[in-house]
Amino acid sequence: MEQSDQPIIYRNIHVTIFRLSLPGMISSVLQTLFQLIDAYWVGKLGADALAAIGGCAFILWAIFSLTALSVNGIATLVAQNIGAKKPDQGRFAAAQGMLLNTLTAIIVMGAVYFVQNSLYRLMGFDPQVLLLARQYMNIILAGLIFSFWFTALEAVFRGLGDTKTPMIVLAVALTFNAVADPLFIFGWGGFPKMGIAGAAMATILSEFLAVLILAFLLKRRKYLPKTEKGEPAISLAVMKKLIAIGAPVAFGGFFFSIIYVVLTRIISRFGMEAIAAIGIGHRIEGIAWFACVGFSVAASTLVGQNVGAGRLKQAAKAAWLVNGYGVLILIVVSAIYFFFPDTLMSFFTQDPAVQRLGAEYLKIVAVFEIFLALEVIMEGAFSGAGYTLPVMLVSVPITAARIPLAWFLAVYLNWGIQGIWWAIAVTTGLKGFLNALLFALGFWKRKLNDGTKLSEELNGKE
C-alpha cells in the first residue's frame, strides 16, 4: 500500500491536528494573499478599480462556493475509504468528483458571463466601476476551469491526509502571481499593459501552473483521479453520494455570496468608498477565515477517516480539539484587528475615507471573530461525517437575515455604515454558536452517509 494511503488516525491526535491544520492554514492564508496581492497592485489604479475587484469578489465567492458540490464529496469519500482501508474505492470516487467538478465549471462559466452586467447593476456600480469589473471578470471566467481543477486535486490530497504538498504548490503559484501582477497590470518588462485585467491574467496563469504540478504529483502517487479499465465512466451511485455531501454546503455558500451581492446594494448607499472598504476589509479578515479553514481541513480529514474506521467517539473528540485550537488562534487575530485596524488598512489604500471605513469594519468584526472558528471548523467536521445538512440549515437563514438587519440598523436606526458592519458581525457569532450546538447534539452520528459501506454495527461502536 502507498504511504499516502495509510490512515493517520492512529497517531498522536494533537500532533496530527497540527500536521494537518498548519499546512492547510498556510495554504488558505496563501489563497487569501492571492487576493491581497491583487488588491495591493490594483489599489495603485485608484478607488474605482478597488471597488471593482471588491464587488467581483462577492461574485467569485458565489462561483467558488459551487466547487463544494464536488470538492467536499471528494475529500470526504477519499478520507472515509482510506480510513476503511479501501484506497481504490476512494480513488474512483475522486475520479467521479473530478468529472462533476469539470461539468460544474463549464456551466457556471457560461452562466456568469451572460448575467454579470445585471449583477454589477444590482450592486449599484457606477458605469466606470462596471466597466472595470467586466474587464477583470472576463479574464477570470476564461480560466475558471483551472481554479475548479485546483480545488478538486487539493481535495484529494486532503482526503489522503496530506495538506503539506498542496501548501508548497500553492506557495509556488503565489510567488508566480506576485511577480506576474505588476508585469501584466503596468506592462513592466515589455509585457502588455492590461490594467485591472492584468491582475486576473496573473491569477489564472498561476492557477494553471498549480494544477499541472498537483496532477503530476498525484500521478506519481498513483492516485490521480481517472477511471480505470473495467470501471464505469459515470457511476450514478457515487455521483449521488458526492452531491448528497456537497450540495448543502454548495447551496449554503452560494446563497451566502448572493446575499452579499444584495448587501452590497445597501452598502453602495454610502458611496463607492464603502464598497472598496469592505472589499479590502474582507480580504484582511480572510486571513482569519482561511486560518479557520486550515483547522477545518484537519477536522474534516480526522472525522472522515475515523468515521470510515468506525471510531465515532474519536471522531467527535478530534472535532472538539481542533475547534479549541482554532479559537485560541482567533483570539490573537481578533486582538490584531481590534487594536491595529488603521495600520492594516493603510497597507492597501491611501484613500482616507476607505481607510476609515475599513478600520471601523475590522474593529467591529473583531468582537465576534472567535465564533468564526466555531462556524467554519464545525462545517469541516460535519463534512467529514458526510452529513452537511445542518451547515445549510444554519448558514442560509442567518446569512439571509443580514439584509433586513443591515437595513434596520444602517438606514432605519440611522447608524450609517457601522450598522451594516454590526449586522455582519452579530450574525457570524450566531452561526458559530449554532453550528457548535448542533454538532454537540450528535445528530451526525445517526445520519452517517452510507457511501463508506460501514458495517451494520457502526453505531454500536460508540
Instruction: Please give the pLDDT value at position 110.
Output: 92
What's the pLDDT at 461?
36
Question: Cα–Cα distance between 301 and 79 in angstroms, integer?
Answer: 6
Instruction: Indicate if the pLDDT at residue 32 is higher than 60.
Output: yes
- Say what the pLDDT of residue 9 is: 65
SS3 133: helix
> Mean pLDDT over all residues of the chain?
84
| CB contact set of 256 (below 8 Å; sequence gap of 6+) | 61, 62, 65, 395, 396, 399
At residue 135, φ and ψ (nearest 5 deg) are: -60, -40
Distance CA 247, CA 232 (A): 23
Instruction: Count other Cβ atoms within 10 Å, centred on residue 110.
Output: 12
The pLDDT, as a whole number, for residue 447 is 60
> Could you report the per-residue pLDDT of 210-265, keeping only the tens digit for each?
999 999 999 888 888 877 676 778 888 889 889 988 888 788 778 877 787 788 88
pLDDT, average across residues 185-214:
92
Check whether 452 has a pLDDT greater than 60: no
Given a cut of 60, is residue 451 above it in pLDDT? no
Structure letter (DSSP) for residue 413: S
Those residues with Cβ within 8 angstroms of residue 243's Cβ, 6 or more apart along the chain or in another chain? 69, 73, 100
State the Cα–Cα distance between residues 316 and 323, nearest whole angstrom. Answer: 11
For residue 2, what pLDDT is reported? 40
| Residue 405 pLDDT class (50, 70, 90 cuts) | very high
- pLDDT confidence band for 120 (50 / 70 / 90): confident
Percent of the chain residues past pLDDT 70, beyond the cut = 94
Confidence of residue 180 (pLDDT cuts 50, 70, 90): very high
Q: pLDDT above 90 covers what percent of the chain?
A: 36
Q: Which helix H or strand E contains 445, and what residues bound it?
A: helix 443-446
* Ramachandran region, residue 86 (left: φ > 0; alpha: ψ -120 to 50; beta: rest): beta
Biggest CA–CA distance in the chain, Å, is: 67
Q: How does pLDDT run across 328-337, given as a tens digit for each residue? A: 989 999 999 9
- pLDDT class for 453, splitting at 50, 70, 90? very low
229 DSSP 8-state letter: T
Q: Which amino acid is at 247?
A: A
In 3D space, the residue among 258, 308, 316 whose CA is nearest the CA of residue 119 turns out to be 258
What value does the mean pLDDT take over residues 60-72?
Answer: 86
Q: Please indicate whether residue 304 or residue 152 has the higher confidence score (pLDDT).
A: 152
Comparing 119 with 456, the larger pLDDT belongs to: 119
Is residue 398 within 8 A of residue 427, CB to CB? The reply is: yes
CB 121 within 8 A of CB 44: no
Give the integer Cα–Cα distance in Å for 158 and 446.
25
Distance (Å) of CA 338 to CA 34, 91, 291, 366, 422: 24, 45, 17, 6, 14
Residue 276 scores a pLDDT above 70:
yes
Confidence bin at 7 (pLDDT 50/70/90): low
Q: What is the DSSP string of 261-322?
A: HHHHHHHGGG-HHHHHHHHHHHHHHHHHHHHHHHHHHHHHHHHHHHHHTT-HHHHHHHHHHH
Q: Which residue is listed with cell 466601476?
A: 129
What is the spatial distance between Cα 9 and Cα 1, in angstroms, rounded to a whole number?
16
Provide the 3-class DSSP secondary structure of residue 451: helix
Of 39-43, 155-159, 253-257, 421-425, least confident by mean pLDDT is 253-257
Question: Residue 13: phi, psi to the nearest 5?
Answer: -70, -35
Q: Which region among 304-313, 359-368, 406-415, 432-441 has the lowest average model confidence (pLDDT)?
A: 304-313
Q: Give this prediction's pTM.
A: 0.70
Helical H segments across 194-267, by residue range:
196-220, 236-267
What is the Cα–Cα distance from 262 to 308, expressed in whole angstroms?
Answer: 41
Average pLDDT over residues 273-294: 82
